[in-house]
Structure 1
Amino acid sequence: MIPKCSSSLHPLQFQTFTGLRQLAETRRFKVWLLDQFGVLHDGKQPYPGAISTLENIAKTGGKMVIISNSSRRSSVTLEKVKSLGFDASLFLGAITSGELTHQYLQRRDDPWFASLGRSCIHFTWSGRGAISLEGLDLRVVENVEEAEFVLAHGTEALGGANGNARSMKLEDLEQILELCAAKRIPMVVANPDYVTVEARDLRVMPGEFDLSSKNITPK
């Protein structure tokens, strides 16, 4: 005899919130993992009510951490939100893809990163501020023949051996990438986003290089 079992199916209960402030007012959450661009600010200024909402979360004992695909390091990210008027002390810290990239390149305890070598072509920023490679013991080169890997922090400039950045069009950087792909040179993308918000505009991010590389067939 097969025992019978009964079950009562309850429909999923959904609740719609109009913004972060309304969600914070529920006081249901003790830990907040917050993106920054498009959530807290638009790259130029905080969204209306964002600062006061975070202050209210902190008052209720909520712990907040910024998690971002930014190619910047964590300390730079916290300085960024501070410059926009946020109280950086409200955050336990920040985790960025740029910070993780830096740590992996510094430690070299992962076999894939350990195999990269020390000579790299560096795609970085110009107007947005170049990314520092201090502490990584890397030799930045501009000649593909000398490169052991590509490090993509930005989409606006080509890094130089002297630490300066030379502004370049995205199309020109992609041409360099095609040469690297033809030689099967590996690439580290420090920001996987295709675009990010900046005020009312969308800015192309290094993830675009990864997308473009899928259409490149190495010889």
Structure 2
Amino acid sequence: MARMAAPNASDTKIFTGLKQIAETRHYKAWLLDQFGVLHDGKKPYPGAISTLENLAACGAKMIIISNSSRRALTTLDKLKTLGFDPSLFIGAITSGELTYQHLQRRDDPWFQMLGKTCIHMTWSDRGAISLEGLGLQVVENVEKAEFVLVHGTEALGLSSGDSVSKNLGELEKILEQCAAKGIPMVVANPDFVTVEARELRIMPGTLAAKYEKLGGEVKWMGKPHEIIYKEAMAMAGVEASDSIAVGDSLHHDIKGANASGIESAFITCGIHSSELGLNGFGELADVASVRALASKYDAYPSYVLPSFTW
């Protein structure tokens, strides 16, 4: 059985920078979340780019491990436009990539059982997710659908290949019909919310959680589930004991690392900043507040840092 990382809040070490972690222990692979850690969706966080360069100089293998519903190559391209050097990473594993590969290969028994017609929830302002190459037929009538595929929370895919904007309430009404029919859901981004330019945005995991409450079956294709961590460790060719995950979500990043038996670093300037009473980037969180929040989420980081800085 894998060794659980930092099994309780009192084991957590509070540091001010990643240099202290790197000097404490040599981790061969760093599994890095992006939103809330490296950038806010619009620009890199202060010091993030130089910190990556310092980690690379230490010989670390770095992999982006993200609940983004987009493909891995798209994620790396986006990082490049934000000023990051893609060559610093050995690759990226995203929920969207895992979803695409499983829907295409159909070599998993659960995915073999899925049909080819689906209700597709996607993005509009952010750009719809392409289903090209999957052999799927998007339908608008729930009665014709064999499963629900959720990439986004802004729009409903149409059979023409276009999409129509929908608000959260409208999408939830469609989910009620899907749940009544008893069809399964594949969620290509398990995040509940994400931080974008200091604002929290509703993500597909919120719809998936709603679907489970309605009695629907959900296949979660990302953090905190082990599937994405195993994929990342296989890409790096490392064992759990040589890996560390860095993220800003206790429920997704830290809980997922705990379940996979790898150590973790919790970045407090991300989605939990308000819960921790933080007002500015790089502000140190109160130790007691961090430990109380970790206990609340039953997710225990090995290290706590104010930001992804060296």
Q: Secondary structure at the match of 1:214?
A: helix
Report percent identity of matched pairs.
70
Q: Which ranges of structure 1 fall in alignment gaps of 5 or more residues?
A: 1-11
Deviates more, 1:23-32 or 1:173-182: 23-32
Indicate the structure with greater helix content: 2
Q: Which amino acid aligns with 1:63?
A: K
Q: Which has the higher contact order (CA 8 A, sep 6+)?
A: 2
Deviates more, 1:209-218 or 1:72-81: 209-218
Distance 1:60 1:114 in 2: 43
1:91 aligns with 2:89: yes
Selected match of 1:206 from 186, 190, 204: 204
Distance 1:90 1:26 in 2: 22
Residue in 2 aligned with 1:129?
127
| Count of matched residue pairs | 207
Residue in 1 aligned with 2:169?
171
After the TM superposition, which residues 186-205 of structure 1 pair with which residues of structure 2 at under 5 Å, given as runs? 186-205=184-203
Residue in 1 aligned with 2:149?
151
Deviation of the 1:58 alpha carbon: 1.4
Deviation of the 1:80 alpha carbon: 1.2
Indicate how the Cα distance of structure 1 residues 138 and 188 shifts in structure 2: closer, same or farther if over 3 A, else same: same
Deviation of the 1:61 alpha carbon: 1.8
Q: Which ranges of structure 2 fall in alignment gaps of 5 or more residues?
A: 1-9, 217-310
> Taking structure 2 as the reference length, what is the TM-score of the superposition?
0.63
Query: RMSD of the TM alignment (CA)?
Result: 1.8
Q: Which amino acid aligns with 2:119?
A: I
The superposition leaves residues 153-181 of structure 1 with CA deviations (integer Å, 9 ceiling, x where unpaired) of 00000011222121110100110000010
Indicate how the Cα distance of structure 1 residues 14 and 112 shifts in structure 2: closer, same or farther if over 3 A, else same: closer
Residue in 2 aligned with 1:5?
none
Q: Which amino acid aligns with 1:72?
A: R
Deviation of the 1:191 alpha carbon: 0.8
Aligned residues of 1:24 and 1:53 also touching (Cα < 8 A)? no
Distance 1:140 1:76 in 2: 22
Residue in 2 aligned with 1:161?
159
Deviation of the 1:114 alpha carbon: 1.1
Q: Secondary structure at the match of 2:213?
A: coil
Structure ID, larger Rg = 1
1:109 aligns with 2:107: yes
Deviation of the 1:59 alpha carbon: 2.1
Residue in 1 aligned with 2:233?
none
Q: Which amino acid aligns with 1:92?
A: I
Q: Which amino acid aligns with 1:200?
A: R
Selected match of 1:40 from 19, 25, 38: 38
Q: Which amino acid aligns with 2:158?
A: G
Residue in 2 aligned with 1:60?
58
Q: Secondary structure at the match of 1:172?
A: helix
Distance 1:179 1:89 in 2: 45
Aligned residues of 1:194 and 1:205 also touching (Cα < 8 A)? yes
Aligned residues of 1:156 and 1:170 also touching (Cα < 8 A)? yes
Distance 2:64 2:108 in 1: 25
Distance 1:14 1:100 in 2: 31
The superposition leaves residues 41-84 of structure 1 with CA deviations (integer Å, 9 ceiling, x where unpaired) of 11111110000111121122221101111111111111111111
Aligned residues of 1:70 and 1:96 also touching (Cα < 8 A)? yes
Q: Secondary structure at the match of 1:193?
A: coil
